[in-house]
A = this chain, B = another copy of it.
Amino acid sequence: MVTIYDIAKKANVSAMTVSRVINNSGSISQKTRKKVEAVIEELGYIPNSSARSLTSKKSKILSLMVTDITNPFFTNIARGAEDKAMQMGYQLMLCNSDENVEKESKYIDMLISTGTDGVLAAPANDSSKKNLQKLAKYKIPYVLIDRYIEDLACDQVLSDNEMTTKRLLEHLIKQGHKKIAIVNAPLDIATAKERHHAYLDTLALHELPMNENWIYQSHFLQDSDISDTIKKMLALPETERPTAIFATSNFIGMNAVKYLKENEVKVPEDIAVVCYDSIPNYFGNEPFLTSAEQPSYNFGYFGAQLLIERVENTAPATPRKIVLPSELHLGASSLFKRK
């Protein structure tokens, strides 16, 4: 392994001079710099990050904590974060919490151990607060993406849950729906809570009936098995049965369609479905499921940007908050006018 001492010896300078050249710090004569750079090139020197971190307390490593990278929403976030990180000379560590605060906690310790410079985190739920506070205790900056947590003074990149929910529901209302159900995740997840409240607010705004039998809880993981939910919904008396479902996530929406079909319920004729978030539309044709597409790549890209500014101390002291709008894509799953 080539060290700065090897370079120093060959270039007839001190190790310190080599360090200055590498880091572009202090002042160096043009001649010395050229000489050192030539030797670095010649010997193919690659700096040792561990040694560097040990003294400088900087690792040039950013970390991304998501609940599951296989959710396309998070996949795109990862890509956006990685692009920005690479562009700014950082590497990206990947962590999957599986919506599990304990697993998340274990990761946080590993990240602290590794000396990550900052963390881009979509926390599992409100109990993740202690994990984030642990980061703060170690003076490691973090940026919340997708899910905020109360009373944490940090930068955030969030979805416009209120507006997007409202638009999805008003689309259903325009189609003539009056009995609208919501299938959501646990309310200790910020996005679930906000979408829940926006659901209630929008129904109230339009003076539509509410019914606790129309409020269902599943979760945000891929295998959100909502067959029981659907069964319960179908078991309601005709007059009480919802004519539309608002799914608060892509997987919930897809599973709703899947289980409705399995139960021989026609979508959208019998029950319409809309969902928050989308899946990539690889085929380029009109997708079936009406959804609100989030600019997921930018959650990662902007998030990494904010984080790096925090890490490099070029950010204002006050926390910043970016709210990203979604784009509605109407599909057959909700395009059926009710009289």
A-side residues, CB < 8 A to B, are 1, 46-51, 53-54, 59, 61, 64, 68-70, 72, 75-76, 78-79, 82-83, 86, 91-96, 107, 109-115, 138, 250-251, 254-255, 257-258, 261, 279-280, 282-285, 288
Q: How long is the Cα–Cα vector from A49 to B61 in the complex, in angstroms? A: 13
Cα distance A50–B50 in the bound complex, in angstroms: 4
Look across to chain B and name the residue whose beta carbon is closest to the beta carbon of A71.
B75
**Are B282 and A49 neighbours in the complex by a CB distance under 8 Å?**
no
What is the CA–CA distance of A96 and B64 in the complex, to the nearest angstrom? 15
Establish whether residues A115 and B75, one from each chain, have CB atoms under 8 Å apart when the complex forms: no
Q: Do B91 and A79 have beta carbons less than 8 Å apart?
A: no
Instruction: Report chain B residues within 8 Å CB of A111.
Output: 91
Q: Which residues of B contact A284 (CB under 8 A)?
A: 254-255, 258
Q: Given A49-B113, A112-B46, A283-B254, answer yes or no on A70-B79 (Cβ-Cβ < 8 Å).
A: yes
Write the nearest CB–CB distance from A65 to chain B, whole angstroms: 12
**Which of chain B's residues have a CB closer than 8 A to the CB of A78?**
69, 94
CB distance from A211 to the nearest CB of B (A): 28
**29 A-B pairs whose Cβ atoms sit less than 8 Å apart in the complex:** A46-B112, A46-B113, A47-B113, A48-B54, A48-B113, A49-B113, A50-B50, A50-B54, A50-B114, A50-B115, A64-B94, A69-B75, A69-B78, A69-B79, A70-B72, A70-B280, A72-B75, A79-B96, A82-B94, A86-B107, A91-B93, A91-B95, A91-B111, A93-B93, A94-B94, A250-B282, A251-B282, A254-B284, A279-B282
Q: Which residue of B lies closest to A111 (CB)?
A: B91
Quote the shortest CB–CB distance from A111 to chain B (angstroms).
8
- Which residues of chain B are within 8 angstroms of A1 by Cβ–Cβ distance? 138
Closest to A54 in B: B50
Given contacts A69-B82, A70-B75, A257-B283, 20 further A-B contacts (CB under 8 A): A46-B112, A47-B113, A48-B115, A50-B50, A50-B115, A54-B54, A61-B93, A69-B75, A75-B75, A82-B96, A91-B93, A91-B95, A91-B111, A91-B114, A92-B93, A92-B94, A250-B282, A254-B283, A261-B285, A283-B288
| CB closest residue in chain B, given A222 | B282
Min CB distance A267 to B, Å, is 11
- Bound CA span A95–B64, Å: 13
Specify which of B61, B79, B254 is in contact with A114 (CB 8 Å cutoff).
B61
